[in-house]
Each structure stands twice: as C-alpha cells, then as structure tokens.
C-alpha cells in the first residue's frame, strides 16, 4: 500500500477565532495540525487549543449515528435512553414536526446555536429567515458575551469589537479585555501583534479584578471591583475635559454629534423644514444643518438662541454631566484610588498628542497613539451599555477612534480584492448623520434604532431594540413575562446547533426547567452533552476538521486582524472524511429546507445574504447542496476561476490592505454619538408599552449620557456575602466544549488556575483557608458550587475568579466530567439580573465561602 501524505489547508474551529490551519494527513489519519502561514488569520501560528484539535476529532465519545430518546422524562442527569435510528427516520420526523409548526405559526420554532462555530451563524440565520421565526440566539453568547460591547463597537467603530492599533499605539488602557493575550477574536494574530507592540514599547495598563492574561503582560495592573468600570472611566473623562481641558475639537466637531444643538427638552434642535439637527456655525453667526458642506466653525461651547429655544452643543452637556463624577467618587465605587485615576487620565490625555498627524502611504492622517479598550469584563454586567459607552468616550474626546495609533474597529471598511472589488462595504451616514455599519453580524444593526414595539418574540426584543438576545430565552421568569406581554405562542420545538446551554447561560437548574418545557428538541452534536440530555433527537455532526464551508472568517468585522497588513479569505474543508454516519449540519439544513418546501425563501435569503450575483445567484426553484452554495459564494466574490475547487487547493486568498480601509475615519463623512439623543424618544415609547403591560420602568437606564449604575451584586446588603465572584476566559478552553479534549484537560490539571477558584492569598488566610482546599461558594440566592481554592496575589482582595465554563457532569463526556468549576451555576437568569436597556445579563455575583 502506498502512503499518501498531504497538507490540507482549512480553518480551526476550537474557538470563534477561526485561525487558518493546515492539517497533515497521512493516509487517512490526521497526524498534525499547524497554522497556515499563507493566511493573515493566525499567520501560521496557533494557540494551545488549535494544535490539540486532533483529540477532539478522534474522541471515541463522538456521536456517530442519529439517536432518538426513549425516556419521556427530561431532567438533569436523567438518562434519555438513546436508541439508534436512521437518518431518514430522523429527518422524516423532524420534517413532519417542522411542517406543522410552519403551517401553524413559525415563531414556535426556537433556534439555538453555539458561538464557537462561527460558520453556522449564516446558514442558521438564513434558515430562520426563510422559515419565518425571529426566535434565534447564540446560547450564552448573547446574554453576557457582547450585548453591550458589540453594540458600542458597532455604533462607534462599525465593528464587532476593537483593538489598539498595535502597530502605532503608544498607550493602551484595557478595561476587562484580553485582546492579544490568547483568547477571543483574532486571537492568534493579536498575540503576535500585541507581543510586537510590547517589544516596541507600547505601554499597557489593564484595569481588571485579576492579573491573569492581559494584566499579567501589562506595564501596570489596576485592580478594580467588578462592574464598576463606568465609574472609573467617567472620572477619567471628567479629569480630561474639565481639569485638563484636553479634547480634539476638530474630531468632535466633524466626526461626532458633539456640536449638535440640544434644546431644553434634551432633544436635538432641528431644522424646521428638513428635521435635520442643527449646529451653530460660529463663522456665520447662526445655526445651520449639521451637514452644511462648508460649515467649518461648528461650535462645541456656548449657548445660543435657536428657533425660539435656548440651545447648547451636546459637548457642553457632556462636560457638565461628567463634572459630578469626581475621582474621589469613583474611588468609593471602584476601589481604584483617586490619585491613580487622575494620573491615568493625565497620561491618556498627554499621550493622545491631540492635533498631531503622521504620513502613511503619502497621506497625512491624524495620529492619536492612545486606545481605551473594553470587552468581556466591562461588558458582562447589567450596566454594560454605560460601562462601554463611558470607556469609549475616552477614545472619542481625544479623537483616537480608527485613526493611526488609536482604537481600531476590526475592518469596518473593505474595498475588496483588486481584481473584483469584492467584498465591498463601508459605513455610511444614517438618520441624523450618525453612522450605519457597512456590515454586521447580529440580526439587527446597532443603528438606526428601531421604534420599540409590543414584543412578539421570546426575547422581548421588539421592546428593547438595543439588545440582541434576552434572558427570557431561558429565564426563571420567562412564562411570567411572556404572559405579561401576551406573547401569542410558546416555543414548541428547538433546533440546536452545538450549544450546551445547560452550562453556557446561567445556573443550570433554571435553564433545565426552560428546556424541559419545550415539547421537542433536535440537536446537532459532536458529543452527547448535558444539553443533549434534553434532546428528543440528536443528529451526529461533523466536527470542524470534517466540515466544509466557504466563509469561516466572514464578515471581516468579526475575527479578521485589524491594522495594516493583508486581507485573507480562507475556507474550511474536511481534513479527513466524516466517520460513521456523521453529516455536515449545513447540508442537513439545506435538505430540511427542501423537504419543507421553503427552497424559494432560502435561496432568496442566500442570494441577499451571501451577496451572490450574476450567474452565481441561486435560482429560486432549484435545489443546491451546501457545497454548491459555497462554490457560488466564492465565485461571486473572486471570479469564476476561483470557486471551491480553487480554494480547496489553495486554502486562502490574500491581498494587501489599503490605508483608506484601515484608517477610514479620516476619509468617510460619518459621525458617531457622544450624546445618545435617540434614547429619549426610545425611553418614552418603550416605557409607554412597558407600563401598559404592567412592567416597572426606570428612566435612569435611558439617559443620553452615561452614568455608573449598580449591578444587583452591588446592592446585596447582607455582609456575610463578602466576595464578588466573576468569570474570566481561560486560554485553554472555549465555552464548555474543549473540556472534553484530553490534551487540554491534561494542561488544565497542571495549570494553577484552569480548574480552581482563584482567591486573593491574604483574604484566604484571613478566612483560614489553605491553597488547594475544597470550598463551597454560595450566592445570596442559595446557588452553590464546589471547587478547590487557589490562593494567589493576582486577584483583587474582594473577589474570586473562576475561569472557563467547566464542571461537566455528563457521563458521556468522561474526560470533562467532574473537572473544574461551573461559575455559571451561581448566576440568576431573570429579569432583575438583565439590563432594562439592552437585556444584557449580569455575570457578577456576591458570594460567601461556606465549608
């Protein structure tokens, strides 16, 4: 027998970073995974997870055949009594149930997917749109992962998130972010770029309750009490604007709504005829529409008589508003000293070098080498919107957004491959001149904001148009809220792709109760998880190394490297053929489309969503397999010669980025809001609807300017609960699914933090605890988890940190079972712990240690 030896280019799928890989296949066995040096996504280097995928592929506990439960009783730890069935049997039953729902009320279908495999997002959302259900979410992802951070990223940077311009930034301050330190979007490339920035001398200050990952590499660690980032950031804004008097007038006047005139009612003063907001043109000596082409002297200060009212530029309101947020006030809330806040504000303002420019590629551009970066830490709270908004203001007031050296959105602008001009997108001005993103990932754009409506979806999203997903998808009070709002249906069936929502949302009892109420659940899984125990049918999915897909890194605002360099569009393809009866889930989805007779709808959505054009569009009446759709998408973007066959051979197409794409802010006429005037109308209308349905309302969440608002954890009065629990990302694990990988498990068992409860050493000693001692943590709601403490100097004395999403109990995951601690089991999933402005779930919790 001759040996075949191949290196097959594809894409990692062990986290949503989707780094480009090459699989070394000898005969039919995968023997090594390396990074693909030809792609900008990872540049040939992978994290510890990425190289360990072999053990996920070859896990003997993988599901190989479709399964149907025989035990009608559903519950945590209840054996479903799996029985093997054929694919035909499975799909017949699924089709029959889907058809019934489709004919009756498609909204009764609840679609859930994991955040880990980004490639499923588009097909699942396309399926949902074609089927006609608005009830879809990324389980666990949306509630606390990025409802606020992505919203603010979208509104200010037209991107899912932001990083410092690693190539030019001189001073970055991270608030609960780990960009460049081994987790998250663009993980592997960011690690390289951040290491280069460190070597170059970029100063990094990390504000975080824990000095792990980013803070471990920082020049300075600023320990902070969880959920108080807004207080610290607002005090810094106050110092910069009111004590130091530093701001970028040019940027504020032309790139934000800072000059928009605000009347006594807090709303824009508008042009009577066009309804466009007015600004004060100091040169003309009167108010003009904000988009008056030759208006150059837009006032940021003063008070004016306009259209019969006293009006002031929004910037004046901001400066006045933040005066109340003194560093001393912020110290009391955040534990960060007033002196530290003043010093950091001074450094940030000075390093911003307001007014300076730099020439790149023959173009003179603003140079602001500072960046304030927020992510999971500042975001994972009830007040995520104001936390992130407040931090973002640091970038905005000094003009450090998407300019050289500043805070960069990842790739909000793309002008396409030089030969085809595709993919092409850029932000554009929307209502009131404020920016609409050029591309997006979630079901609705961050801006413009829809009018609130009486909710008709499971998440109550219509009433909360700033949110993406809401806790009511899996909350303890979902039935109460649905009744309150008269939701005219209940979920009758769930289609789950790979999400283990038992572990990834909040406490598992609450989630289990919501799942047990859903009459029929179908789940695409690679292994049987705690979630699968609630499924009626499990379909054996291909893992990422057996899968095909044309768009693992699309859209580029999600996980493509920022900064100058190269664009790369890779594909994912099977490195080995699927074993057993595993089938590519997207192909199954397309088959269901056909069986259901919604092919026209699906093809119409696909044409739009994938931007298929010319001869590559799908005819409404024709059936296409998923592979064919992938081929057409690639050809639509890169020409008829570069279809799937070309990509299977080459793996990736790359081309250089342009200065106009990376530092687009200077080139595009869009503005962003430093004053969220739109919240006033939103509040009025949403409140009316909420009150009419008996939901209490608090206007404080809808102020156009940010403030610090307490999390439920800050309001616990019982002194016995003397610790704040928070979750952090562990580089070794993604959501819950990598705990079953034995190489990663081995590394975790040796790591001092992965599977333990990190507690400040002095705090631990006061409590008489030893390193390694088993303890129980208890929340004020009586939720408990058990684990070993790791006494460390790297945690805030008031806090305990728990990494990852571990603590599996399913026997079907023998490697993962019983390892680590499930932090989420301490979290309430209910209305009181969700944000009344964007539905974000709070993920910090007061705790006490019980023996």
Partner 1 sequence: MRYGMAIDLKRCVGCYGCQLSCKAEHGTPPGVLFARVLKREFGTFPNTQLVYLPTLCFHCTSAPCVDVCPTGASHYREGGVVDVTTDDCVGCRACMQACPYGARFFNETQTGYFPGQGLTPYEERRYSKENVGVVMKCNFCIDRVKAGLEPACVANCAARARTFGDLDDPQSEVAQLVRLRGGEQLQPELGTHPNVYYLPPA
Partner 2 sequence: MPEIQLKLMGSLGRLAGERETRLLVDEGATVRDLLTLLAERYGPEFAGAIFRAPGEVHTYLRAFLDERDAELGDRVAREGGAPAAVAVLIVPGFEGGSR
Residue 627 found at the interface with partner 1 (CB under 8 A): no
Cβ 178 to ligand SF4 shortest distance, Å: 12
Q: What burial class does residue 273 get, using C-beta atoms within 10 Å of its C-beta: 0-12 exposed, 13-18 middle, 19+ buried? A: exposed
Pattern 454-483, binding to partner 2, x per CB under 8 A? --x---------------------------
Residue 811 found at the interface with partner 1 (CB under 8 A): no
Pattern 702-731, binding to partner 1, x per CB under 8 A? -----------------------------x
Contact 539, 527 (CB under 8 A): no
Interface with partner 1 by CB under 8 A: which range of 108-116, 217-225, 229-237, 272-280?
A: 217-225
Alpha helices in 201-313 (DSSP H): 229-238, 249-255
Cβ 583 to ligand SF4 shortest distance, Å: 23
Considering only 17, 53, 106, 801, the residue that binds partner 2 (CB under 8 A) is: 106
State how far the Cα of 570 lies from the Cα of 636, in Å rounded to an integer: 15
Q: CA angle, 143 as apex, 138 and 144 as ends, to 5°?
A: 115
Binders of partner 1 in range 141-200 (CB under 8 A): 180-182, 187-189, 191-192, 194-195, 198-199
**How many chain residues are in contact with partner 2, going by CB under 8 A?**
44
Interface with partner 1 by CB under 8 A: which range of 53-61, 281-289, 533-541, 674-682?
A: 53-61
Cβ 828 to partner 2 shortest distance, Å: 29
Residue 144 found at the interface with partner 2 (CB under 8 A): no
Residue 639 found at the interface with partner 1 (CB under 8 A): no
**How many chain residues are in contact with partner 1, going by CB under 8 A?**
67
Q: Which does 440 bind (CB under 5 to 8 A by kind): partner 1, ligand SF4, partner 2, none?
A: partner 2
Q: What does each C-alpha distance from 293 to 143, 211, 315, 725 come to in angstroms? A: 42, 49, 21, 52
Residue 728 found at the interface with partner 2 (CB under 8 A): no
Q: Provide the CA 824 distance to its chain's centre, in angstroms.
A: 18
- Here the tokens at position 704 are 């156009």
**CB count, 10 Å around CB of 359?**
10
Considering only 607, 683, 731, 792, the residue that binds partner 2 (CB under 8 A) is: 607
Q: Which does 134 bind (CB under 5 to 8 A by kind): partner 2, partner 1, ligand SF4, none?
A: partner 2
Q: Which does 15 bind (CB under 5 to 8 A by kind): ligand SF4, partner 1, partner 2, none?
A: ligand SF4
Q: Which does 18 bind (CB under 5 to 8 A by kind): partner 2, ligand SF4, partner 1, none?
A: ligand SF4
Considering only 13, 50, 66, 226, the residue that binds partner 1 (CB under 8 A) is: 50
Strand 520-525 versus strand 493-497 pairing type? parallel
Q: Which residues, listed in sequence order, are joined to residue 495 by a DSSP beta bridge?
A: 111, 522
Q: What burial class does residue 105 get, using C-beta atoms within 10 Å of its C-beta: 0-12 exposed, 13-18 middle, 19+ buried? A: middle
Contact 212, 728 (CB under 8 A): yes
State how far the Cα of 404 lies from the Cα of 698, in Å rounded to an integer: 40
What's 7's DSSP letter? E
Peptide bond just before 555 cis, omega within 30 deg: yes
Q: Which does 516 bind (CB under 5 to 8 A by kind): partner 1, partner 2, ligand SF4, none?
A: none
Q: Provide the CA 428 distance to its chain's centre, in angstroms.
A: 22
Considering only 36, 559, 792, 812, the residue that binds partner 1 (CB under 8 A) is: 792
Strand 566-570 versus strand 537-540 pairing type? unpaired
Cβ 757 to ligand SF4 shortest distance, Å: 23
| Number of residues written out for the chain | 851
Residue 47 found at the interface with partner 1 (CB under 8 A): yes
Cβ 431 to partner 2 shortest distance, Å: 9
Binders of partner 2 in range 610-639 (CB under 8 A): 611, 617, 619-620
Cβ 195 to partner 1 shortest distance, Å: 4
Residue 441 found at the interface with partner 2 (CB under 8 A): yes
Name the residue nearer to partner 1 (CB basis): 616 or 729.
729
- Here the tokens at position 483 are 């009744």
Q: Which does 223 bind (CB under 5 to 8 A by kind): partner 1, partner 2, ligand SF4, none?
A: partner 1
Residue 59 found at the interface with partner 1 (CB under 8 A): yes
Q: Minimal CA–CA distance to 386: which of 846, 704, 158? A: 704
Contact 110, 491 (CB under 8 A): yes
**Per-residue three-class SS string for 823-848:** HHHHCCCCHHHECCCCCCECCCEEEE
Cβ 64 to partner 1 shortest distance, Å: 14
Using CB under 6 A, list all residues that contact ligand SF4. Answer: 12, 14-15, 17-19, 42, 46-47, 49-50, 187-188
- Here the tokens at position 513 are 């109760």
State how far the Cα of 679 lies from the Cα of 548, in Å rounded to an integer: 43
**CB count, 10 Å around CB of 220?**
15
Contact 803, 792 (CB under 8 A): no
State how far the Cα of 493 lies from the Cα of 515, in Å rounded to an integer: 10
Pattern 726-765, binding to partner 1, x per CB under 8 A? -----xx---------xxx-xx--xxxx------xxx---
Cβ 744 to ligand SF4 shortest distance, Å: 10
Q: Is 452 helix (H, G, I), strand (E, B) or coil?
A: coil
Name the residue nearer to ligand SF4 (CB basis): 48 or 429.
48
Interface with partner 1 by CB under 8 A: which range of 73-81, 214-222, 422-430, 442-450?
A: 214-222
State how far the Cα of 167 lies from the Cα of 558, in Å rounded to an integer: 20
Cβ 605 to partner 2 shortest distance, Å: 6
Q: Which does 14 bind (CB under 5 to 8 A by kind): ligand SF4, partner 2, partner 1, none?
A: ligand SF4
The answer for residues whose C-beta is within 8 angstroms of residue 52's C-beta and 6 or more apart is: 14, 33, 738, 741, 743, 744
Ramachandran angles phi, psi of 207, nearest 5°: -95, 115
Binders of partner 2 in range 565-604 (CB under 8 A): 600-601, 604
Q: Which residues, listed in sequence order, are joined to residue 568 by a DSSP beta bridge?
A: 654
Name the residue nearer to partner 2 (CB basis): 131 or 721.
131
Q: Which does 793 bind (CB under 5 to 8 A by kind): partner 1, partner 2, ligand SF4, none?
A: partner 1
Cβ 55 to partner 1 shortest distance, Å: 6
Ramachandran angles phi, psi of 828, nearest 5°: -80, 140
Q: Is 439 helix (H, G, I), strand (E, B) or coil?
A: coil
Interface with partner 1 by CB under 8 A: which range of 99-107, 479-487, 612-620, 789-797?
A: 789-797
First-to-last alpha carbon distance for the chain, in angstroms, is 62
Q: What does each C-alpha distance from 140 to 3, 116, 499, 535 come to in angstroms? A: 44, 11, 8, 18
State how far the Cα of 217 lies from the Cα of 745, in Å rounded to an integer: 24
Q: Which does 12 bind (CB under 5 to 8 A by kind): partner 1, partner 2, ligand SF4, none?
A: ligand SF4
Task: Please name the helix (run of DSSP H) or strand (run of DSSP E) that holds residue 121, with its range, or none.
Answer: helix 121-131
Ramachandran angles phi, psi of 204, nearest 5°: -125, 125
Pattern 749-788, binding to partner 2, x per CB under 8 A? ----------------------------------------
Q: Provide the CA 364 distance to its chain's centre, in angstroms.
A: 33
Q: Which residues, listed in sequence order, are joined to residue 725 by a DSSP beta bridge?
A: 800, 845
Residue 429 found at the interface with partner 2 (CB under 8 A): no
Footprint of partner 2 on this chain (CB under 8 A)?
105-107, 121-122, 125, 128-134, 423-426, 436, 438-445, 448, 450-451, 453, 456, 554-555, 600-601, 604-605, 607-609, 611, 617, 619-620
Footprint of partner 1 on this chain (CB under 8 A)?
26, 28-35, 42, 44-52, 54-55, 58-61, 180-182, 187-189, 191-192, 194-195, 198-199, 211-213, 215-217, 221, 223, 731-732, 742-744, 746-747, 750-753, 760-762, 792-797, 814-815
């Amino acid at each position: 027998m001759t040996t075949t030896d191949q290196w097959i280019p594809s894409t990692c799928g062990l986290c949503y970073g989707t780094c480009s890989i090459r699989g070394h296949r000898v005969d039919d066995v995968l023997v090594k995974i390396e990074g693909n040096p030809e792609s900008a996504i990872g540049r040939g280097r992978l994290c510890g997870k990425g190289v360990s995928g072999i053990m996920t592929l070859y896990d003997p506990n993988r599901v190989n055949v479709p399964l149907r439960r025989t035990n009608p009783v559903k519950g945590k730890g209840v054996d479903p009594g799996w029985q093997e069935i054929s694919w035909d049997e499975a799909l017949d039953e699924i089709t029959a149930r889907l058809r019934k729902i489709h004919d009756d009320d498609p909204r009764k279908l609840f679609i859930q997917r994991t955040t880990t495999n980004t490639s499923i997002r588009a097909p699942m959302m396309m399926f949902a749109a074609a089927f006609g259900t608005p009830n879809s979410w990324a389980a666990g992802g949306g509630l606390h992962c990025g409802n606020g951070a992505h919203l603010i990223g979208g509104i200010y940077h037209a991107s899912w998130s932001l990083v410092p311009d690693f190539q030019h930034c001189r001073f970055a301050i991270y608030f609960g972010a780990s960009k460049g330190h081994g987790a998250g979007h663009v993980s592997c490339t960011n690690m390289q770029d951040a290491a280069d920035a460190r070597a170059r001398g970029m100063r990094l200050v990390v504000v975080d309750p824990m000095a792990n990952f980013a803070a471990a590499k920082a020049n300075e660690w600023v320990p902070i009490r969880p959920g108080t980032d807004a207080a610290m950031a607002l005090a810094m804004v106050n110092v910069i604007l009111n004590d130091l008097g530093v701001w970028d007038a040019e940027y504020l006047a032309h790139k934000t709504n800072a000059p928009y005139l605000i009347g006594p009612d807090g709303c824009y003063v508008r042009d009577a005829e066009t309804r466009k907001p007015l600004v004060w043109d100091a040169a003309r000596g009167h108010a003009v529409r904000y988009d008056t082409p030759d208006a150059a002297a837009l006032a940021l200060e003063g008070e004016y008589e306009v259209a019969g009212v006293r009006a002031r530029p929004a910037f004046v309101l901001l400066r006045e508003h933040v005066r109340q947020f003194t560093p001393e006030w912020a110290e009391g809330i955040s534990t960060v000293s007033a002196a530290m806040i003043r010093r950091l504000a001074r450094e940030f303002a000075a390093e911003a070098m307001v007014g300076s420019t730099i020439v790149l590629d023959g173009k003179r551009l603003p140079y602001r080498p500072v960046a304030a970066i927020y992510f999971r830490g500042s975001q994972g709270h009830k007040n995520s919107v104001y936390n992130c908004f407040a931090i973002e203001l640091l970038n905005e007031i000094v003009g450090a957004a998407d300019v050289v050296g500043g805070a960069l959105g990842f790739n909000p602008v793309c002008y396409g491959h030089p030969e085809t001009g595709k993919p092409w997108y850029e932000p554009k001005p929307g209502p009131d001149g404020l920016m609409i993103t050029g591309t997006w990932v979630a079901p609705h754009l961050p801006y413009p904001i829809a009018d609130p409506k009486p909710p008709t979806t499971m998440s109550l999203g219509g009433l909360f148009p700033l949110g993406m997903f809401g806790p009511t998808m899996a909350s303890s009070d979902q039935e109460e809220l649905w009744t309150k709002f008269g939701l005219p249906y209940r979920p009758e069936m769930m289609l789950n792709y790979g999400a283990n929502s038992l572990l990834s949302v909040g406490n598992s009892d609450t989630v289990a109760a919501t799942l047990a109420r859903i009459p029929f659940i179908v789940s695409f899984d690679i292994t049987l998880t705690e979630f699968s125990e609630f499924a009626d049918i499990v379909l054996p999915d291909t893992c990422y190394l057996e899968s095909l897909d044309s768009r693992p890194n699309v859209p580029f605002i999600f996980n493509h490297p920022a900064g100058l360099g190269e664009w790369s569009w890779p594909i994912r393809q099977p490195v080995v053929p699927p074993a057993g009866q595993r089938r590519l889930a997207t192909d199954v989805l397309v088959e269901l489309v056909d069986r259901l007779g919604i092919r026209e709808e699906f093809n119409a959505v696909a044409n739009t969503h994938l931007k298929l054009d010319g001869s590559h569009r799908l005819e409404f009446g024709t059936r296409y397999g998923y592979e064919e759709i992938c081929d057409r998408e690639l050809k639509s973007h890169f020409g008829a010669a570069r279809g799937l066959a070309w990509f299977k051979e080459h793996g990736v197409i790359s081309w250089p980025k342009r200065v106009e794409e990376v530092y687009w802010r200077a080139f595009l006429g869009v503005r962003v809001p430093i004053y969220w005037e739109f919240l006033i109308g939103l509040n009025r209308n949403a409140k009316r609807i909420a009150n009419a349905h008996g939901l209490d309302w608090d206007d404080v969440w809808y102020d156009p300017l940010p403030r610090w608002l307490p999390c439920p954890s800050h309001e616990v009065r019982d002194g016995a609960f003397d610790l704040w629990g928070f979750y952090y990302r562990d580089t070794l694990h993604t959501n819950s699914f990598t705990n079953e990988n034995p190489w990663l498990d081995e590394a975790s068992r040796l790591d001092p933090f992965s599977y333990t409860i990190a507690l400040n050493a002095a705090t631990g000693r006061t409590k008489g605890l030893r390193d390694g001692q088993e303890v129980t943590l208890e929340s004020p709601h009586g939720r408990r988890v058990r684990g070993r403490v790791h006494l460390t100097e790297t945690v805030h004395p008031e806090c305990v940190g728990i990494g990852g999403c571990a603590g599996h109990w399913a026997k079907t995951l023998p490697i993962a079972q019983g390892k680590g601690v499930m932090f989420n089991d301490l979290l309430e999933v209910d209305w009181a712990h969700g944000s009344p402005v964007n539905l974000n779930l709070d993920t910090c919790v007061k705790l006490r240690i019980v023996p």
